[in-house]
Structures are given as C-alpha cells and as structure tokens.
Amino acid sequence: MSEWRLDASSGGQVRVLTGADTGLHALYCSYVRSVFSRADFAAWIGFGDWDANYRAFSILEQDRIVANAALTRMRLILDGEEQLAWQMGAVGVLPEARGRGLARIVISAALDACSDAPVFLFANPKVRQFYPRFGFVARQEHVFTHAFACRPAGANGQSERAPELDLTAKGSRDMIQRLSEHGLPTSKRFAARGYGGTIRWYLDNRLLAPPRIVADDCLVFAQQRGDCLYIQDILSMRQFDLAACIPSLIEQPMTHLRFGFTPDVWWPSARAVRVDPEPDLYLRGMQTRGKHKFPVLAQT
C-alpha cells in the first residue's frame, strides 16, 4: 500500500484528522450528524475502526468542524486487476458556513494528498455540476436482477433458515474484516477488497441487518423485499452454491433476485435491467468498462 502524501497545499486551513486524534473525534461526530442526518461515527470509532485507511481533511473554526472531505484507502478490483485507489466521502459544509468556498478547499486538499492515484466517490444527483470541476467524470451504475422462483426453508423437507452472525460475539468483527481482506471479490469487473470497516459502519448505524452464515467462512448479506431477495454482498473464502442457499435466506416465496454488486462471479446469468438512478458514481484518474454496480457495502 502506498503511503499518504500529506503536503497538501491548503494555506494552513485544513487539519488532517486520523484515528490517533482522539481529542477531535467528538467534533468529527458532531459535524457528521449535522450534515448527514442518518450517519454517525461514534460507535464505529468506539470499536476502534478508525484506522490508517481513513483520514478526514477538515476545517475547524471556533471548536467546530465546519467543512470536511474524507478519504478511504481502497483495494479496487478493476478488469481483474487489483490496484490502490481512494474513495472520497463525508464531503460537506455546515449550513451556516456555506458560500465561502470551503468545500473547494477541503476537496482540493484531499485530492492533493492522493497525488496521481485514482479517486472515486458517490454523490446524489443534485451535485452533477459540482464534481466535474475537480476532474471527476460521471459514470452510470446499473441494477442487476434475475428471475428465480423459490420457497423458504422449512418447506418440502428443506433445512431451516441460515443463522445470523452474532455481532456481539468475540471475533465477529474480525471475521468480517478477514473475509473482506482475503476472500473472493464479488466481481472481476469492478469490485473491492478490504472494506470490512465500511461494512461495520453500516452495521453500527443499523443500516444493515447482520449477515447470514451459509457455511464456514461464508457470509451473505441479504434482505427480502416482497417477492424480491436483495443480495447486498457476499463475503466468502471460496465459491459455493449460492442458489442452493437461497431457501435459507428468505421468509416468504420469492420470484426474483437483485444484486448490490456486479454479479459476474456469483450469478453470471444476471442482467443489467436499468440504470441505477442514484447515487451517481464519479471517477478521477480511472476508467471502467461495461455495465457494473460497485458493491453497495463498500460505498462510503
């Protein structure tokens, strides 16, 4: 992994926050809650997940963080090759500090720290005119589905539902990290490795149900929505028969699958049925080919 370059030209306004800056973590949590209503970093930080892969480029005024852009170091899988990249997130300015160009300052500082490495981010459609000013290019993501009629486990002599991973048990968080680091990537086309900290952030914020254990070292994150099973992610050290596991993942009959990632590895017959309306993907210093869906649980 490349080291961070921290000589960003920011005129002294930008403070780079790390996991070691414990005295400023409460300010960072306050900033996040003020700008992103559904997000919180307190539990994630409390579990020690703010590691060397995450840094925040912040402007502090009067004991408050008023503007911020964060970077997460990512191991991307792009066209079958692994490469280092950075994902930008938590970009914002407090309402009372807007109109002063502070977003431009923190984004520029973060991009300087990335040097010439690829950078990408996800943002809502309201900012489509903003990020291209920094060299980002918008790229469409797609929704992948497949028809698959199935009944839940327990019928016709089948086994019961797969157990949930007990997130309070010792080693559960380490297991998520280990499988994300060393397991199979969900796609050869456009995916990632090592984003266990991001998955745990979703779990800590109760934005994600615990995964189901379908076999040793095989976790499936899935949510049933009516007659559709939405498979959000798979963490596994090996390939397994996903179709055979589906009855143990559902509570009622289903007719089709949707995937939160490009399913070329786990369900090659799935097809991109439409453009994903949001969030928008922006790329800088990299290109993707074909139709894809970057793993939703790797998005910051």
Burial degree of 291 (CB within 10 A; 0-12, 13-18, 19+): middle
The total of structural domains in the chain comes to 2
Would residue 125 count as lying in a domain?
Answer: no
Give Dmax (Cα) for the chain. 69
Query: Which CATH number do you get for residue 104?
Result: 3.40.630.30
Separation of alpha carbons 228 and 252, rounded Å: 10
Would residue 45 count as lying in a domain?
Answer: yes
Expressed in angstroms, the distance from the first to the final Cα of the chain is 20
Q: Is 176 helix (H, G, I), strand (E, B) or coil?
A: helix
Does residue 245 sit in the same domain as residue 175? yes
φ, ψ (nearest 5 deg) of residue 87? -110, 125
Q: What is the pLDDT of residue 160?
A: 84
Exposed e or buried b per residue across 184-213, where buried means at least 16 C-beta atoms within 10 angstroms of its C-beta: bbbbebbbbbbbbbbbbbbbbeeebebbbb
Does residue 113 sit in the same domain as residue 149? no
Q: What is the pLDDT of residue 156?
A: 57
Does residue 168 sit in the same domain as residue 267? yes
Would residue 79 count as lying in a domain?
Answer: yes
Would residue 5 count as lying in a domain?
Answer: no
The residue among 102, 117, 132 that closes a domain is 117
Would residue 170 count as lying in a domain?
Answer: yes
Separation of alpha carbons 266 and 150, rounded Å: 17
Q: What is the pLDDT of residue 37?
A: 84
Reading the chain (300 residues) residue by residue, the pLDDT tens digits are: 344 454 444 446 899 999 999 999 999 999 999 999 888 999 999 999 999 999 999 999 999 999 999 999 999 999 999 999 999 999 999 999 999 999 999 999 999 999 999 999 999 888 888 999 999 999 999 999 999 999 998 855 455 899 999 999 999 999 999 999 999 999 999 999 999 999 999 999 999 999 999 999 999 999 999 999 999 999 999 999 999 999 999 999 999 999 999 999 999 999 999 999 888 999 999 999 999 999 999 999
Model confidence, pTM: 0.92
Residue-number span of the structural domain to which 18 is assigned = 14-117
**In the β-sheet with 142-150, what is the strand arrangement from edge to edge?**
212-215, 218-225, 228-236, 254-259, 142-150, 271-275
Does residue 163 sit in the same domain as residue 96? no
Would residue 133 count as lying in a domain?
Answer: no
Would residue 293 count as lying in a domain?
Answer: no
Separation of alpha carbons 232 and 244, rounded Å: 17
Query: Token pair 């397991």 is at which residue?
Result: 183
Q: What is the pLDDT of residue 12?
A: 61
Separation of alpha carbons 143 and 136, rounded Å: 22
The answer to whether 186 touches 281, Cβ cutoff 8 Å, is: no
Does residue 167 sit in the same domain as residue 67? no
Joined tokens for residue 216: 């040793």
Query: Which CATH number do you get for residue 227?
Result: 3.40.630
Does residue 87 sit in the same domain as residue 185? no
Does residue 53 sit in the same domain as residue 162? no
